[in-house]
Structure 1
Amino acid sequence: MLINLHVKNLALIKEADVDFSKGLIVLTGETGAGKSLLLGSVNIALGNKVSKDIIRTGAQFALVELTFQVDEVCASKLKQMDIFMEEGNIITVSRKISESRSVSKINGETVNVNVLKKVMGMLVDIHGQHEHQSLLYVSNHLNILDKYAKKEMADILKGLSAEYGNYTELKSRLSSYNIDEAQRMREIEFSMYEVNEIENANLIPGEDEELEEQYKKLSNSENIVETLSSVYGLIGYDSMQSAGELISKATQEISSISNFDEKINGFKETLFDIDSVCRDLSAEISDYTGELEYDPREVSRISERLDTINHLKLKYGKTIDDILQYQDKKQSYLDELNNYSEKIDQIKGLITESREKLQVLSERASKIRKTAAKELQNSITDALKDLNFLSVDFKINITKKDKITDKGFDNVEFMISTNPGEPVRPLAKVASGGELSRIMLAIKSLLAGEDEIETLIFDEIDTGISGKTASMVAEKLAKISANHQVICISHLSQIAAMADSHYLIKKDMEDNSTATNIVKLTREESIKEIVRINGDGTMTDAAIAHAIEMKDMADRTKSNLV
C-alpha cells in the first residue's frame, strides 16, 4: 500500500509530505484547491508525459516521491525484475523533472519508463475522472471480462498472442513470394550472376590484408633496397669508418685493460654484446636485400587481384567476410526461387496449421469467457443493486467475429436495462454519466477481489450522483477498502463521512504566493469539512449535529461490514 507521498515544487505545491494508512482514505477541498494532487502525482511517477509548466514558478525542478509497502507476493515478483526491497518490503518510486530532462528512480536506482510503468502497474490502480467513459467503447468490454477471468485466461491469452504473431509473420512471408513468373526468372538470373561473380573470385578470408602488405612491400622494393644498403654501410664492417668496424676496434682496445678492474671488464662485455648485435643485424639486412627483387609481373598480379576484391567490396560488403555472407544469403534466396512452388506450398501449409491452432485456442478462450460472463453479469447486477439501481438487468453479450485476432474471435459487449419491462440495450446507448460512474465502480469492486494490486485510487467516482445513491457508493467503497487501500478524491459528504482517514486539500497564501497544502483532519475537523460540503460552511448547531450523525452512521455501517 501507499504509505507516503512527498511532492516538491509541483504546480502550486511548494512542498507536501503526507503519510497514509490502510482503509478508505478520502481527500476533499474547495473547487480549484488541487484535489487531484494525488492522482496527478501518481501519473507523473508513472512516467507519463508532463509539461515543464508543472514546475512551480521560480523553482528549478519538481519532485514526486511515492513510498509503498508491499506484501511477499508482490516483493517476489519485483525481485524477478531485479528490483529488491528495502527492509520491511519498502519500495520508493521517484521522478525528478527539470527544464532539460526527467529522471525516474526505484529505490535510488535509475530506471527507464518501461520498467517504471510495469512496476507501478503492480503497485497501484488508478480510476481517473473520465475513465468510466471507457465503458462506451465496446473494445474495452473484452478486456474487463478477460481481467475477471484472468486465472483461467492468462495462459490461453499468451498462447493466442504468440500464435497470432507467428500467423501474421507467415502471412507476411507468403506475400513476399507474390511475384509473377517473368519477375521470378529475372530474379533468378540476377541472383545467379551475383553468386557466380563472388564464387569465381575464390575469395579467402584475410587475403586482402595480406595482399596489401605484399603490394606495399614490392612496389617500394627499390627504395627499400637503396635505404637498407645505406644502413648496412653505416653499421657494417666494410669500411674503416662504419659503426661495426669502430665497435670492433673498441672491443680490441678495451680488452687490453679489462683485467685491471672488474668494472672495466663489464664495459668490455657490453661492447662484445653490441658488436654481436651489430654483426647479426648486418647479416640479416644483407640476406633481406639479397632476397628482395622487384618483379613487375608479381606487382601487376597483386594489383589486379586487389582490384577484383575491392570491386566486390563496393558491390557486396566492406570486408571479404561480408561478401561471403552476402553470397550465402543470395544462394539461399536463389534456392527459394528455384523451388518457388514448393516454398509457397510449405508456407501455406504452415499458415493452415497456425490457423487451426488459433481456432482451437480461440474456442477454448470463448468457452471460458462464456462461463465467466454468466458469473460476472450476475455479480455486476448484484453490485449495481447495491449502488441504488432499483431495477436493473445487466447482460454480457458474446458474439463471434469474422476474423481471429490476437485475443481470439470473441466480440464482447455489455448490455443493460435500468427500467422494468425494457429490453437490454448496448450500454453506450442507455447509461447516463452518473450511471456509468456507478457501473464502473461495480466493475472495479468485483475486479478488486480478483486483483493483487493493493492500492486503488478513485478520482471523483461520485460524479453525477447524490442522496441515497451517494450513501450506497460510499458503502461500496468501504467494502472494497476492507481488503484494499482505497484513496478517493471526492466532493460528497457521504463519502467523506465514511473515510477512515480524511484529508483536506486547501490553498494558502505563503510569501505573497499561492500554495496548495494537504492536511490530515481530526474527527472534529472532518465534521467541520462535512458541514462545508453539505452547505455554505456556516457552523450552525443543526449543521454540526447533522454532520456528526453522518459520521456516526458511517461508523455503524463500517462496523457491520466488518
Structure 2
Amino acid sequence: MNERKRMLRELRLNNLAIIKNLDLEFSKNFVALTGETGAGKSIILDGISLLIGERSHLEMIRNGEESLFAEGIFEITEKQKKRLNELGFEINDDELIVTRTFDKNSKSKITVNGTRVTLSKLKEMMENIIDLVGQHEHQSLLNSEFHLNLLDRFLDDAGKNLLKEVKKNVDEIKKVNLKIEKIEEQKAKLLEKKDVLEFQFNEINDLDLKINEDSELEEEYKILFNSGKISEKLEESSQWLKEGDFSILSALGKVRKNLEQLSDLSEIYGELSEKVESIVYEVEEVSYSINNFIGDVEEVNDTKLEKVVKRIDKINKLKLKYGATIGEILEYKDKILKDLNFINFENDELENLKEEKKELIKKYFENGEKLSEMRENIACALQNTIDIQLYDLNMESAKFQVSIQKNNEITPNGINKVEFLIKTNVGENFKPLVKIASGGEVSRIMLALKTVFSEVDNISVLIFDEIDTGISGETVRKVAQKLKELSKNTQIICVTHSPQIAGSANQQFLIKKEIENNFTETKVRELNENERIREIARIISGDNITQVSINHAKEIMEKQLKKKKDGCLKWEKIWKKKKN
C-alpha cells in the first residue's frame, strides 16, 4: 500500500444529535457527503471531531438517550507511527481504533487501541493523523499569529533543529534572567534595611568581642565581688603557714631538724628528713602564691568591679539581640558584613550572570539570523508554489506573498514576524488576507495552502466542510479538479452542495433526514452510480429532477471519469502556460 494512502476507514456513531445509528466504510481517495440543507451533514463532522479531541457537550446526546458513542478506525503510516511513538504513545499496529463515550452525567471515556487516554492526549495524537478544515481553520488562516507556524512546517531537519536551538536559547535566557532578578531583588530588599544593618554591625563591632570573653568576665566578677572574703581567708592562711612559733612552717622546720640529727644513727631518718624538707619547699611555694594573691586582692576597688559588670551587661544585651553565645554574635556580624558588601560593591555572581546573558542573547540573534535566512528561502519557494495553485483554482491574477519582518524581541520562534499577504487583481497592492479575501477566495486560498502543506504535514485525511462556499461555475469545477488531484496522496472527505465536486468523488454518501415514530433521524447510505447521477441531478435542479438535469449529471460524471483516465495537468505545465 502507498505510504501516503492511509485513511479513516470506518466511522460508527450512536445517539449523536439526530443520528441514531451510523456505520460507514470510506474509500481511500475522494469521498463526498451530500444531502439537503439541515439533513445532518455537519453532525457527521461533529462525530469525527469527537475522535480528534474536540470537546463534547450535553446537547450532542440524542433526545431521549442517556449517552453517545463514536468510533473511528484509522490506517496509519510508518512515519505517523514513528511520530506517535516519539510523542510517547506506544503504537505497534498499522491502525488506530479510537472510541469515545459521553453520558448525561458528563462522564467521558476515551480509548485508543483499548488503552484509556485523556482528551488532551487524544488531540495531540490525532493532530498527526487528520485535519478537519472548517470555519475555525479559515479563521486560523486569516489570523497572522498562525502564519509563522504555517511557514515553519516547510523547514528541513536542519531548520527544525535550528528552531529547537532558538527555543533552547530563549529558555536559557529566561533562566539567567530569573537568577539576575532574584539577586537584584535580594539586593533591593537589603538596601531597604541598610541603615539597620549598619547600626547592628557597628553595635557589635564597637564592643570588640573575644571568644570566651563572657566566661572569663564571669570568673573575674566572682573574684571581685567576693574580694573581702578572699582577702580574709588568704591572710589567715598565710599566718597559719609562717607566722609565730605555731606556724606550719615552724613546726615542719623543727621536725626536719630532729630527723636530721638522727640521720647518723640510721639512713631511714635521713630519708625522712629529706621528704620533710621537700614538703617545706612546697609549703613555702604555697605561702608565696597566697601572698601574691593577697597583693592582687588588695588592688581591687569598686571602679574595677563596676567596669566588669558593665561589660557583662553589654554582652548580655547583644546575646538577647543577635545570638545565645559570643560565637553566634560574631557569626551574625560576619553575615551583616557580607550583606553590606553585597549592597555597597559589585557582586561577582551578578556580573558573571550578566555576561552569560549577553553571550546567550548574542547566540540567540546569530541563530535567529540563520533561521530568518532559511525562512526567506522557504517563503520564496512557497510564494511561487501557492501562485501556481491559485492559478489552477481560477485566481489567475492572484499573487501570494509571505511578508517576513525582523524585530529585536526575544521569542521562542526567533526574530521574525510573518504575515501572509495577497492581491487578487493586477495593479493592486498586497494586503493581509483578512482585509481582502471573500468567502470564496478564502476557500480557494485554504485549498491551495492545504494542497501544498499536505506534502510536508504527512496528514492522512483532509476533511473539507463546504469548500464550495461562495464559488460557482468554472471556479467550482477547478476546485473539484484540485480536490481530485489532492486525493491521489491524501484521503479527502468533503461536505458539499456542488454537483462538480460530488461528481469528482470516488465515493458518495447521501445524508437524509427522516421522521420515525415522531423522532427525527439522520440516515446515511452509500450511493451506486445511478443513484449518484440522480443525487447530482437533485443538487443541480432541486427536488424537481428533470431529464435535462439528469443528462447534465451524467455529463459531469463522464467528464470526471475521463479526467480520471487522462490525468490532470501538472502544476509545472499550468505555470508554464500561465507565463506564456
Q: Deviations over 1:30-73 (max 9, x none)?
A: 11111113321122122322211211112121111110111222
Matched, 1:162 2:164: no
Query: Per the alignment, in what secondary structure is the counterpart of residue 122 of structure 1?
Result: coil
**8 Å contact 2:398–2:422 — kept in the other structure?**
yes
Q: Tell me by how many angstroms 1:492 deviates.
A: 0.9
Match of 1:359 in 2: 365
Whole-angstrom distance in 2 between the partners of 1:527 and 1:421 = 43
Query: Per the alignment, in what secondary structure is the counterpart of residue 33 of structure 1?
Result: coil
User: Which 10-residue stretch deviates more, 120-129 or 164-173?
Assistant: 164-173
User: Which 10-residue stretch deviates more, 514-523 or 42-51?
Assistant: 42-51
Q: Tell me by how many angstroms 1:510 deviates.
A: 2.3
Q: Name the amino acid aligned to 1:96.
A: T
Q: Deviations over 1:126-175 (max 9, x none)?
A: 11134223232222221221113354432122222222122123223322
Whole-angstrom distance in 2 between the partners of 1:182 and 1:425 = 49
Q: Tell me by how many angstroms 1:511 deviates.
A: 2.7
Q: Tell me by how many angstroms 1:548 deviates.
A: 0.3
**8 Å contact 1:39–1:128 — kept in the other structure?**
no
**8 Å contact 2:84–2:125 — kept in the other structure?**
yes
**8 Å contact 1:336–1:343 — kept in the other structure?**
no
- Number of residue pairs aligned between Structure 1 and Structure 2: 421
TM-score, structure 1 normalization: 0.71
Matched, 1:123 2:151: no
Match of 2:472 in 1: 466
Whole-angstrom distance in 2 between the partners of 1:336 and 1:389 = 72
Query: Per the alignment, in what secondary structure is the counterpart of residue 414 of structure 1?
Result: strand
Match of 1:549 in 2: 555
Give the counterpart of 2:90 among 80, 83, 87: 83
Whole-angstrom distance in 2 between the partners of 1:126 and 1:151 = 26
Match of 2:505 in 1: 499
Whole-angstrom distance in 1 between the partners of 2:538 and 2:185 = 76
In structure 2, the CA distance between the partners of 1:183 and 1:96, relative to structure 1 (3 Å rule), is same
Alignment of 1:524-535 (within 5 A): 524-535=530-541
**8 Å contact 2:76–2:95 — kept in the other structure?**
yes
Q: Tell me by how many angstroms 1:484 deviates.
A: 0.7
**8 Å contact 1:531–1:538 — kept in the other structure?**
no
Whole-angstrom distance in 2 between the partners of 1:71 and 1:118 = 17
Alignment of 1:124-143 (within 5 A): 124-143=130-149
Whole-angstrom distance in 1 between the partners of 2:341 and 2:464 = 58
Q: Tell me by how many angstroms 1:523 deviates.
A: 1.0
Q: Deviations over 1:227-256 (max 9, x none)?
A: xxxxxxxxxxxxxxxxxxxxxxxxxxxxxx
Match of 1:232 in 2: none
Q: Deviations over 1:71-124 (max 9, x none)?
A: 2222333345343344xx121011110123111100111111232112111211
In structure 2, the CA distance between the partners of 1:547 and 1:355, relative to structure 1 (3 Å rule), is same
- Percent pairwise identity: 37
Q: Tell me by how many angstroms 1:529 deviates.
A: 1.0
Whole-angstrom distance in 1 between the partners of 2:189 and 2:139 = 53
In structure 2, the CA distance between the partners of 1:500 and 1:176, relative to structure 1 (3 Å rule), is same
Query: Per the alignment, in what secondary structure is the counterpart of residue 395 of structure 2?
Result: coil
Q: Name the amino acid aligned to 1:37.
A: I
Match of 1:539 in 2: 545
Whole-angstrom distance in 2 between the partners of 1:152 and 1:433 = 37
Please give the root-mean-square deviation of Cα atoms over the aligned residues, in Å.
2.5
In structure 2, the CA distance between the partners of 1:514 and 1:85, relative to structure 1 (3 Å rule), is farther
**8 Å contact 2:183–2:350 — kept in the other structure?**
yes
Whole-angstrom distance in 2 between the partners of 1:9 and 1:427 = 40
Query: Per the alignment, in what secondary structure is the counterpart of residue 403 of structure 1?
Result: coil
Q: Tell me by how many angstroms 1:340 deviates.
A: 6.8
In structure 2, the CA distance between the partners of 1:530 and 1:428, relative to structure 1 (3 Å rule), is same
Whole-angstrom distance in 1 between the partners of 2:156 and 2:126 = 19
TM-score, structure 2 normalization: 0.69
In structure 2, the CA distance between the partners of 1:182 and 1:156, relative to structure 1 (3 Å rule), is closer
Alignment of 1:96-115 (within 5 A): 96-100=101-105, 101-115=107-121
Q: Tell me by how many angstroms 1:373 deviates.
A: 0.5
Whole-angstrom distance in 2 between the partners of 1:19 and 1:154 = 37
Match of 1:286 in 2: none
Q: Name the amino acid aligned to 1:94.
A: T
Structure label with greater radius of gyration:
2
Q: Tell me by how many angstroms 1:452 deviates.
A: 1.2
Match of 1:55 in 2: 61
Q: Deviations over 1:191-239 (max 9, x none)?
A: xx9xxxxxxxxxxxxxxxxxxxxxxxxxxxxxxxxxxxxxxxxxxxxxx
Query: Per the alignment, in what secondary structure is the counterpart of residue 545 of structure 2?
Result: coil
Whole-angstrom distance in 2 between the partners of 1:165 and 1:182 = 25
**8 Å contact 1:47–1:104 — kept in the other structure?**
no
Query: Per the alignment, in what secondary structure is the counterpart of residue 409 of structure 2?
Result: strand
Q: Deviations over 1:413-458 (max 9, x none)?
A: 2222221222323332222221111111101000111221111111
Structure 1 stretches of at least 4 aligned residues deviating more than 6 Å after TM superposition: 186-190, 333-336
In structure 2, the CA distance between the partners of 1:528 and 1:181, relative to structure 1 (3 Å rule), is closer
Match of 1:72 in 2: 78
Whole-angstrom distance in 2 between the partners of 1:514 and 1:153 = 54
In structure 2, the CA distance between the partners of 1:473 and 1:351, relative to structure 1 (3 Å rule), is same
Structure 1 spans left out of the alignment, 5+ residues: 194-329
Query: Per the alignment, in what secondary structure is the counterpart of residue 144 of structure 1?
Result: helix
Whole-angstrom distance in 1 between the partners of 2:110 and 2:463 = 21
Match of 2:437 in 1: 431
In structure 2, the CA distance between the partners of 1:70 and 1:521, relative to structure 1 (3 Å rule), is same
Query: Per the alignment, in what secondary structure is the counterpart of residue 463 of structure 1?
Result: coil
Structure 2 spans left out of the alignment, 5+ residues: 1-6, 201-334, 569-580
Whole-angstrom distance in 1 between the partners of 2:78 and 2:340 = 56
Q: Tell me by how many angstroms 1:182 deviates.
A: 6.8
**8 Å contact 2:144–2:419 — kept in the other structure?**
yes
**8 Å contact 1:129–1:461 — kept in the other structure?**
no
Whole-angstrom distance in 2 between the partners of 1:431 and 1:520 = 35
**8 Å contact 2:538–2:549 — kept in the other structure?**
no
Query: Per the alignment, in what secondary structure is the counterpart of residue 111 of structure 2?
Result: strand
**8 Å contact 2:17–2:62 — kept in the other structure?**
yes
Whole-angstrom distance in 1 between the partners of 2:71 and 2:119 = 15
Query: Per the alignment, in what secondary structure is the counterpart of residue 458 of structure 2?
Result: coil
Q: Tell me by how many angstroms 1:358 deviates.
A: 1.1
In structure 2, the CA distance between the partners of 1:31 and 1:151, relative to structure 1 (3 Å rule), is farther
Alignment of 1:262-341 (within 5 A): 341=347
Match of 2:34 in 1: 28
Alignment of 1:218-229 (within 5 A): none
Matched, 1:94 2:99: yes
Whole-angstrom distance in 1 between the partners of 2:61 and 2:168 = 43
